[in-house]
Structure 1
Amino acid sequence: MTEEELREHKRSLQQKAYRKKQDAAGKAPRKVLATEEVRRAAHAARQKKWFYRKKQDREWLDQWDAYHRVRYRKLAGPPTPRLTEEERKARQKAYRESYVRPEPTAAQKAKWSERAQERWAAYYANETPEQRALRLAAKAFYRETEVQPKVREIVEHIKHHFAKATSEVMRQDAADEWADTGLSCWLTSKALWYREVLG
């Protein structure tokens, strides 16, 4: 027996012993690997199955989408006509004006002023001398720091506008602009009064 034959004989004995141990342990023998052709065929079958499933999924999703489109059209009713630019702007303007609080009426203002006068009268009736001194000091400080600078600024504006006016019409326009307390503030009328008094 040559050396090569002896090596092959020992390998076959080892394999037999190994298989006996496997059988005794209740284990299946080693799997035989599939050939390349079988492996490729199995891979192609798996791919085909996967693509077919994807196609089914896509068809199902398309049907689901179409069903909901029809359902939504039924629920929503006929389509609304498209607005022109002017109609859209008018709707926007109406919406903006709808949530702006309206100006109070004269009756409301009178009622509020009456209530405020009543409350202030009650406050003045119950005011102590210390409270009165503190209130007057705070009022004087506010007038010096807030009112007077604002009045001076408005007076300067008025003087500037009247100096720029070259005709009686422009002077009247400036007077109308500055006399409208609703557009600026109550200090405007105060400044006009100061201008009349101070000259």
Structure 2
Amino acid sequence: MTYTKRTGMTEDQLREHKRALQEKSYRKRQDAAGKAPRKVFATEEERRAAHAARQKKWFDRKKQDREWLDQWNAYHRVRYRKLAGPPMPRLTEEERRARQKAYRESYVRPDPTAAQKAKWSARARARWAEYYANETPEQRALRLEAKAFYRETEVQPKVREIVEHIKYDFAKATSEAMKQDIADEWADTGMSCWLTAKGLWYYEVSQIMARYGYGD
């Protein structure tokens, strides 16, 4: 075996290096001659110990991930509380119902007074009188044509159906208190449904509603 000088090696390092080369050469010769040492398998105890070590490493890693996630969530809980400020006081059932009622009443338009209704009616009559006085024959023809087309649409039958429903409810009532409740219910419905509001204008219905406090 040819020796190549290696600079910077001590005597012990050089000796160990030579021994490693000799061992490598010996193994190569043994492999070439088919005399390689038999492979040594681990025992059952060693295999179980290695498996337990791998499991422990995996569970430790999962535990670290869980701890990190808990710390992250705790940090954000504290941060959100700081941003949101002090917690809102918990309401009782009565307070919650009162709040809901106040909210519902806050966006409902109050009923107009008799003076307001009279003023609006007079103003509307004056406006329509002025319009009819200055209406040209072409405008009149267009208005009547639009009115006829509107009556042919599905709006008119639907309004008639609502009118029949209102009259049926009043006919079914057996006392004045029940009729007053029915009038209140239909008046409330008419505030949010324009079809019902249109049905309440009909002569038969308006006479009944006027009797229970909802006339013009």
What TM-score comes out, normalization by structure 2 length? 0.46
Higher RCO structure, 1 or 2 (CA under 8 Å, sep 6+):
2
